């Protein structure tokens, strides 16, 4: 009897010896043997879920990168309770395609059967900005809860980047003065109306400067994300849950990516601080012989990641996400960055990926960006690996720094419905 070797990406040899190849992992696909049209699927491939990682998921449009990210997220929910209870996952969804995970993938029943799987709805929590709830209801799009953030939690630089204001210009100086005065009077508990009021009463500044800043604050009211109370962090990071943060409807407003980045930056900062605090308590308890986790390890999946963490310039999410990239392993946070343009992703983030999952790429700029992180365990040029992939959706190469191996694989089909397919004018009769 031939014994099929198990492949587990993202897991060190030490952890394989301690935990084996399957405990605390997710089934994400099958190994591809052979090249191009001659390739066929072989043994299953698992991905480590038990340790923090920085994972890059890349591929040109239509190759299945967002689909693959959904597959990974499904595995966190499908993990045994003893594992999933120590995990929490968040999908940042700027395109509005992950709400469909609430429904089973009935369209691919035969394909799933070939893989030994069945259609299944995921028990996800879909969050939308409070001010967009009516629009979601009108369009009959399901959601579970709304969220808001406190204006007082934003720094001066956060507001300046969001409003595209330079801090050394009159509007930037006024902005800093307004926020400083508000903090003295209210702490963090002030509203956008308070901000408009304080901008109006700064007589040392020209009327046109005050009016320009007031207009920015009034525009921010229309985003539907601010309230004096703000949402509690615990809502997004409950044990064993997958939260989808749907930011798609911001696309209709000016500077929409800055607004999305503002939300992601604040959330990232909060989660990292919480995990750093929890880590200290966990280490103290471990010294006393107790093995309890204060809060779950958090996985954050970000689609269109180059918009939040660009290689040119910065957004309100840049510094918080770079902190996840550089120090997240220690407190226990994982980051999955998904983009069709890896050359536009911050190079520090790219270089820190311990697992890279690349679907087909054809742009020279994108391939060159990945070549910059090529490792000495790669036998061939990156282009050779990519060129040898079959053209079927879901096929990818995986660079795994943990095992220092390169694998070709085909991602498994989703058990939940994927709403991110490309529309067609041709309808089935």
Please tell me the predicted confidence (pLDDT) of residue 350: 93
Mean pLDDT by 10 residues, the chain (429 residues): 72 89 92 87 93 94 92 94 91 94 95 95 94 89 92 93 93 96 95 95 92 94 91 87 92 81 93 83 56 77 96 94 92 94 94 93 89 72 85 90 90 92 52
**Interior angle at CA 93, CA 145 and CA 413, nearest 5:** 110
Pick the closest to residue 70 from 415, 371, 391, 320 (CA basis). Answer: 415
Going from the N-terminus, what domains does the chain have, and what CATH number goes with each? 7-131+242-411 (3.40.50.300), 151-221 (no CATH)
Pick the closest to residue 59 from 424, 345, 419 (CA basis). Answer: 345
The pair of structure tokens assigned to 80 is 């045994």
Distance CA(258)–CA(266), nearest Å, equals 12
H or E element, residue 334: strand 333-339
The model scores a pTM over 0.85: yes
The pair of structure tokens assigned to 100 is 């469909």
Q: 48-93 pLDDT, tens per residue?
A: 999 999 999 999 988 899 999 999 999 999 998 888 888 999 999 9
Pick the closest to residue 49 from 395, 378, 241, 334 (CA basis). Answer: 334
Distance CA(159)–CA(173), nearest Å, equals 12
Q: 281-334 pLDDT, tens per residue?
A: 666 555 555 455 567 899 999 999 999 999 998 999 999 999 999 998 888 899
Pick the closest to residue 177 from 143, 148, 209 (CA basis). Answer: 209
**32 contacts 408 by C-beta, under 8 angstroms:** yes
Please tell me the predicted confidence (pLDDT) of residue 1: 43
Please tell me the predicted confidence (pLDDT) of residue 424: 45
The pair of structure tokens assigned to 385 is 């690996």
DSSP per residue, 214-230: HHHHHHHHTTS-B-SS-
Pick the closest to residue 282 from 263, 268, 296, 261 (CA basis). Answer: 296
H or E element, residue 76: helix 65-78
Write the CB contacts of 28 (distance below 8 Å, at least 6 apart in sequence). 45, 46, 47, 68, 71, 72, 75, 409, 411, 412
Q: What are phi and psi of 411, to 5 degrees?
A: -65, 145
**90 contacts 300 by C-beta, under 8 angstroms:** yes
């Amino acid at each position: 009897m031939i014994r099929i070797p198990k492949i587990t990406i993202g897991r060190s040899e030490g952890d394989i010896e301690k935990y084996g190849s399957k405990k605390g992992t997710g089934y994400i696909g099958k190994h591809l043997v052979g090249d191009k049209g001659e390739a066929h699927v072989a043994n299953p491939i698992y991905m480590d879920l038990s340790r923090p990682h920085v994972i890059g998921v890349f591929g040109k449009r239509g190759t299945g990168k967002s689909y693959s990210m959904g597959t990974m997220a499904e595995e966190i929910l499908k993990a045994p309770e003893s594992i999933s209870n120590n995990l929490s996952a968040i999908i940042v969804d700027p395109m509005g395609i992950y709400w469909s995970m609430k429904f089973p993938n009935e369209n691919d029943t035969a394909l799933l059967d070939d893989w030994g799987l069945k259609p299944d709805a995921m028990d996800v929590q879909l969050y939308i900005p409070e001010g967009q709830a009516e629009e979601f209801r009108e369009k009959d799009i399901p959601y579970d809860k709304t969220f808001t953030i406190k204006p007082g939690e934003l720094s001066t630089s956060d507001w300046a980047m969001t409003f595209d204001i330079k801090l050394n210009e009159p509007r930037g100086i006024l902005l800093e003065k307004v926020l400083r005065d508000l903090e003295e009077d209210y702490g963090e508990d002030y509203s956008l109306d308070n901000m408009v009021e304080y901008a109006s009463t700064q007589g040392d500044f020209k009327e046109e400067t005050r009016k320009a800043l007031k207009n920015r604050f009034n525009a921010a009211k229309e985003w539907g994300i601010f309230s004096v109370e703000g949402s509690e962090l615990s809502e997004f990071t409950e044990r064993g849950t997958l939260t989808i943060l749907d930011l798609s409807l911001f696309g209709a407003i000016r500077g929409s990516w800055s607004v999305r980045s503002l939300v992601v930056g604040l959330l990232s900062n909060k989660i990292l601080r919480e995990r750093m605090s929890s880590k200290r308590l966990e280490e103290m308890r471990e010294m006393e012989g107790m093995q309890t986790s204060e809060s779950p390890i958090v996985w954050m999946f970000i689609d269109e990641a180059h918009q939040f963490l660009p290689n040119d310039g910065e957004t309100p999410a840049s510094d918080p996400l770079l902190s996840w990239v550089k120090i997240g392993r220690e407190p226990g946070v994982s980051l999955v960055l998904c983009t069709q343009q890896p050359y536009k992703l911050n190079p520090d983030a790219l270089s820190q990926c311990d697992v890279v999952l690349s679907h087909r790429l054809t742009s020279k700029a994108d391939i060159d960006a990945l070549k910059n992180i090529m490792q000495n365990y790669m036998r061939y040029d990156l282009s050779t690996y990519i060129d040898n992939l079959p053209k079927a959706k879901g096929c990818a190469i995986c660079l795994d720094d943990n095992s220092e191996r390169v694998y070709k694989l085909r991602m498994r089909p989703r058990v939940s419905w994927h709403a991110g397919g490309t529309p067609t004018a041709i309808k089935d009769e």
